[in-house]
């Protein structure tokens, strides 16, 4: 099929390449000329495992091109809208200006009575957005159907999640329009459906809600375990043993129960805020009041982490960190990504610098981003450069390079064998056996025990 993808960020660029790999003829459209040039030359504008290879493969086959011209969507049988919905600068709600611009642009374009096409929203939007646009498209003289098909991809696994998703959700308008759109989407995803990916057909509002409800649940799981970590600290318990024990109950499950410095990125934080803001507008604010607590627990983990490092390094949480060199390992919000949006690692690194520490950051992919965003931090080119002379190693993103780190090998580089593991990524037995003073939030250590006083 001929597909247009409007918006070529993490979601759109990967979706474009993945759809081309399924045999469709795809044009990716973005207003950012530099991004379009980079993608046209086969260069990924962000770090995403497997994406450069997929891009090279489909561009070699001639099925994928990129342009800044929205008019290219006129030729498409389906246009996917994959633009961002960041948090609005002055409120907790989503900023819909990119969605409005993309859908408004398509609305202005598809005015010929001969136009027969489907507009597919993939962006995460406040519930109710799709219905408003569906009405506007339905009023066009041709047959232009609007559906919502939320995307659940995780950064770091974007290619895999697009080509082998857990489920595909169609939010459809009622009647003939919905039936036409569903059969067009079935054709787009024919290979995935044939491979057994479950499909759920529902109405527009439910499809919009599925996405934010899924992210709200995941965020709640993470904040739940971090809240338990706070209680463990107060009570002298061990959050890692607790997480293992409750996670073995299949009704609870082990995943998304990793304690530490909390969630960040371009989705979970802003999605829970926008969800709560929209629910309040709908008069259902009380139902999702807990999301405020989820958010606060998550942000508190960053301060608790900075306090733990301060106590471990300087003896007490209120101490200044002047004269201490701290190596921060990891800056991206998660491993296998260079995404710095709302990164807990960057927030903690900056807080340590604010408290006076000389902070040297090493991240396998996000170094250039750190330089841009936080000029007060030093950026090392390698783990050993960061560790050399450091009074503490602080792991804030669980890149494999850090998980595999040999404590004996790095011991010779540091000024003091002190490690703070903000992601539960390291084996405490191995590090303490190598003579390291080892600290984590929510687990006993002589200093962590004083955390809540
Ligand atoms: C998330 C959703 O998982 C995805 O379905 C949606 O489409 C977009 O938002 P992503 O932002 O890529 O994906 O990251 P995710 O893997 O969900 O992790 C989010 C954050 O939570 C990261 O900062 C991660 O480090 C943190 N996290 C995750 C924890 O702190 N503990 C955990 O147990 C799991």
Domains 2-197 and 220-450 share a fold: yes
CB distance 256 to ligand 1 below 6 Å: yes
- Under CATH, which architecture does the 220-450 domain have? 3-Layer(aba) Sandwich (3.40)
Q: Which atom of ligand 1 is nearest to the CA of 256?
A: 33
Structure confidence at residue 88 (pLDDT): 96
Mean pLDDT for the chain overall: 96
Catalytic residue list contains 82: no
Characterize 322-332 residue by residue with b for buried, 16 or more Cβ atoms within 10 angstroms of its Cβ, and e for exposed: eebbbbbbbbb
What percent helix, strand, coil does the chain show, rounded to 5?
45, 15, 40
Structure confidence at residue 154 (pLDDT): 96
- Report CA(399)–ligand 1 centroid distance (Å): 14
Cβ 345 vs Cβ 397: under 8 Å = yes
CB distance 346 to ligand 1 below 6 Å: no
Residues 6+ away with beta carbon under 8 Å from 233: 441, 442, 448, 449, 451, 452
Q: Which atom of ligand 1 is nearest to the CA of 266?
A: 11
Mutate to test the pocket of ligand 1, among 46, 154, 335 (most ligand atoms within 8 A of CB): 154
- The pair of structure tokens assigned to 343 is 């990164």
CB distance 64 to ligand 1 below 6 Å: no
Structure confidence at residue 445 (pLDDT): 72
CB distance 215 to ligand 1 below 6 Å: yes
CB distance 66 to ligand 1 below 6 Å: no
Query: What residue ranges of the chain have pLDDT lower than 70?
Result: 446-453
Mutate to test the pocket of ligand 1, among 267, 297, 337, 422 (most ligand atoms within 8 A of CB): 267
- Report CA(263)–ligand 1 centroid distance (Å): 6
Decide yes or no: CATH 1.10.260.40 for domain 2-197.
no
Going by alpha carbons, the residue nearest to atom 26 of ligand 1 is: 263
pLDDT, tens digit (0-9, with 9 covering 90-100), for 342-353? 999 999 999 999
**Measured distance CA(405)–CA(18) in Å, rounded:** 34
Mutate to test the pocket of ligand 1, among 222, 295, 300, 400 (most ligand atoms within 8 A of CB): 222
Structure confidence at residue 121 (pLDDT): 98
- The pair of structure tokens assigned to 83 is 């633009």
What ranges do the domains of the chain cover? 2-197, 220-450
Characterize 402-428 residue by residue with b for buried, 16 or more Cβ atoms within 10 angstroms of its Cβ, and e for exposed: beebebeebeebbeebbbbbbbbbbeb
Parallel/antiparallel/unpaired status of strands 392-395 and 325-329: parallel
Structure confidence at residue 448 (pLDDT): 43
CB distance 257 to ligand 1 below 6 Å: yes
Going by alpha carbons, the residue nearest to atom 17 of ligand 1 is: 154
CB distance 222 to ligand 1 below 6 Å: yes
Going by alpha carbons, the residue nearest to atom 34 of ligand 1 is: 256
pTM given for the model: 0.95
């Amino acid at each position: 099929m001929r597909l247009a993808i409007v918006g070529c960020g993490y979601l759109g660029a990967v979706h474009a390449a993945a759809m081309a790999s399924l045999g469709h003829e795809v044009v990716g459209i973005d207003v950012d000329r530099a991004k379009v040039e980079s993608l046209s030359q086969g260069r990924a504008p962000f770090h995403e495992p497997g994406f450069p290879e997929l891009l090279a493969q489909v561009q070699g086959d001639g099925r994928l091109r990129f342009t800044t011209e929205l008019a290219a969507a006129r030729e498409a049988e389906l246009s996917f809208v994959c633009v961002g919905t960041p948090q609005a600068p002055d409120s907790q709600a989503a900023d819909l200006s990119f969605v409005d611009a993309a859908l408004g642009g398509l609305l202005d374009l598809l005015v010929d009575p001969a136009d027969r096409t489907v507009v597919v929203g993939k962006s995460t939007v406040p519930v109710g957005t799709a219905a408003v646009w569906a009405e506007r498209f339905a009023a066009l003289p041709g047959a232009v159907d609007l559906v919502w098909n939320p995307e659940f991809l995780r950064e770091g696994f974007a290619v895999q999640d697009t080509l082998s998703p857990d489920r595909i959700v169609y939010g459809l308008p009622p009647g003939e329009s919905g039936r036409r759109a569903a059969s067009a989407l079935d054709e787009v995803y024919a290979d995935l459906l044939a491979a057994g990916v479950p499909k759920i057909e529902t109405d527009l509002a439910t499809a919009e809600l599925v996405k934010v409800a899924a992210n709200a649940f995941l965020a709640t799981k993470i904040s739940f375990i971090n809240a338990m970590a706070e209680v463990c600290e107060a009570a002298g318990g061990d959050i890692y043993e607790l997480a293992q024990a409750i996670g073995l109950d299949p009704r609870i499950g082990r995943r998304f129960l990793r304690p530490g410095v909390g969630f960040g990125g371009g989705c979970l934080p802003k999605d829970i805020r926008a969800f709560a803001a929209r629910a309040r507008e709908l008069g259902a604010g009380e139902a999702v009041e807990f999301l405020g607590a989820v958010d606060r627990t998550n942000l508190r983990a960053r301060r608790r982490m900075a306090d733990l490092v301060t106590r471990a390094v300087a003896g007490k949480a209120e101490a200044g960190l002047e004269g201490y060199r701290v190596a921060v390992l990891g800056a991206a919000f998660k491993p296998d990504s260079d995404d710095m949006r709302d990164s807990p690692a960057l927030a903690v690194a900056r807080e340590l610098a604010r408290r006076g520490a000389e902070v040297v950051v090493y991240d396998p992919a996000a170094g250039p981003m750190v330089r841009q965003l936080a000029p007060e931090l030093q950026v090392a080119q390698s783990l050993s450069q960061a560790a050399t002379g450091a009074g503490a190693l602080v792991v804030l993103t669980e890149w494999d390079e850090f998980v595999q780190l040999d404590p004996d090998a790095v011991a010779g580089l540091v000024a003091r064998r002190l490690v703070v593991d903000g992601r539960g990524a390291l084996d405490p037995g191995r590090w303490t056996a190598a003579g390291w003073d080892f600290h984590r939030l929510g687990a006993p250590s002589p200093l962590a025990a004083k955390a809540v006083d």
